[in-house]
Amino acid sequence: MQSVLIYGFHAITSRLRQNPSSVQEIHLDEGRHDQRSRDLQQLAESLGVRVIQTPRQRLDGMAPEGRHQGVVAKVAAALALPHTLDGVLEGLSEPALLLVLDGVQDPHNLGACLRVADAMGAHAVIAPKDRAAGLNPTVRKVASGAAETVPFITVTNLARTLRELQELGIWVVGTAGEAESDLFGIKLDGPLALVLGAEGEGLRRLTRENCDQLARIPMFGTVESLNVSVAAGMCLFEARRQRNAGIA
C-alpha cells in the first residue's frame, strides 16, 4: 500500500480520529515532553498505533517542506474519497456545492481552502493539474485534516470541466472585483460551483468566459483584495446560508 508523510499535531490528530487504521506509525520528537505531545501519544496508543521516539534532526529530514511541530506520521495515501468529479456528483444527496480554484499555487492557500470547504460542507475542491498546487505534506498540515475529508479533484482542462458542470445543471459563478452583481444579491442556493482565482491575478480569461455569472464580494473597508482562502470562506458561507434559510 502506498504511503505518504503528514505532519503537525492538527493533521495527525484528525487522521487518528477519522481513520486510525490508515495511520501506520507516528514519529514524535524525543525531546518533547509537553502536554500536547503526551495527549497525542496517549490517543495513538489507545488506538493501537505505534509511536516512535525520534530525534529532531531526523524529523527535519522527513518533513523538509514545512514545520512539523515535532511530529510526523506515515499514513496510507488513499482513503475512501471519490477521485473523479463523476464520483463526487453521483454520491450527493443534496444540490452540489463545489469550490473551483483557478491557478492557486501556494500550498498554504490550498490547505486553508480545503479547511473552509470542509467547514462549509462543500462536496469537492476542483483545480487544474497545471499551474496549481497539489496535495503535499504542507497542504495536509494547513488543512488540519480536511485533506482527508474533502475530495480534491484535479482536471486537465478547467474550462471544459466548467462546461461539463453547466451541462449537468450546475450554476457556475466566478468571482471578480469588477463584477456588477455582488455576492449577497445573487441566487446561490441551487447546484453551484464557485470559481476563485489566485490573489492578484484573478480568474484566467477562458475561466471567466465559461462562468454563467460573475460576482464580487462586497468590500466595506479600505483593502482592495482578500486572500483566496478568506474569499472562499465568505462565498461558501453565503451559499450555505442561503441554502439553510431557503432564500436567495
Neighbours of 69 (CB within 10 A): 19
Residue 221: strand, helix, or coil: coil
Does 214 appear as a known binding residue?
Answer: no
Pull the grid cell for residue 22.
490508515
For residues 151 and 125, is the Cβ–Cβ distance under 8 A?
A: yes
User: Residue 144: phi, psi to the nearest 5?
Assistant: 55, 45
Cα 103 to Cα 126, 161, 188, 202, 228: the distances in Å are 11, 15, 23, 8, 11
Does 217 appear as a known binding residue?
Answer: yes
Residue type at position 108:
H
Pull the grid cell for residue 32.
518533547
Does 197 appear as a known binding residue?
Answer: yes
Which residues make up each annotated binding site? 197, 217, 226
Residues flagged as binding site for S-adenosyl-L-methionine:
197, 217, 226
